[in-house]
Chain A
Amino acid sequence: DGGITQSPKYLFRKEGQNVTLSCEQNLNHDAMYWYRQDPGQGLRLIYYSQIVNDFQKGDIAEGYSVSREKKESFPLTVTSAQKNPTAFYLCASSQGSWKETQYFGPGTRLLVL
Chain B
Amino acid sequence: GQNIDQPTEMTATEGAIVQINCTYQTSGFNGLFWYQQHAGEAPTFLSYNVLDGLEEKGRFSSFLSRSKGYSYLLLKELQMKDSASYLCAVSLRGNTDKLIFGTGTRLQVFP
Contact = CB atoms under 8 A, between A and B. Distances in A.
Is B truly associated with A?
Answer: yes
Interface of A: 40-45, 58, 88, 90, 97-99, 101-107, 109
Interface in B29-53: 30-31, 33, 40-45, 48
A42 B4 contact: yes
B30 A104 contact: no
Given A42-B4, A42-B87, A107-B42, A99 B101 contact: no
B100 interface: yes
Nearest to A101: B45
Contact of A42 (B40, B45, B101): B101
Interface of B: 4, 8, 30-31, 33, 40-45, 48, 87, 89, 91-93, 97-104
Q: Chain B binding site: helix, strand, loop or mixed by DSSP? A: strand
Contact of A98 (B8, B40, B45, B98): B98
A42 B100 contact: yes
A interface majority secondary structure: loop
21 contacts: A40-B8, A42-B87, A42-B101, A42-B102, A45-B98, A45-B99, A90-B42, A90-B43, A97-B97, A98-B91, A98-B99, A101-B33, A101-B45, A102-B33, A102-B45, A103-B45, A104-B43, A106-B42, A107-B40, A107-B41, A107-B42
A8 B99 CA distance: 26
Given A90-B42, A107-B41, A101 B48 contact: yes
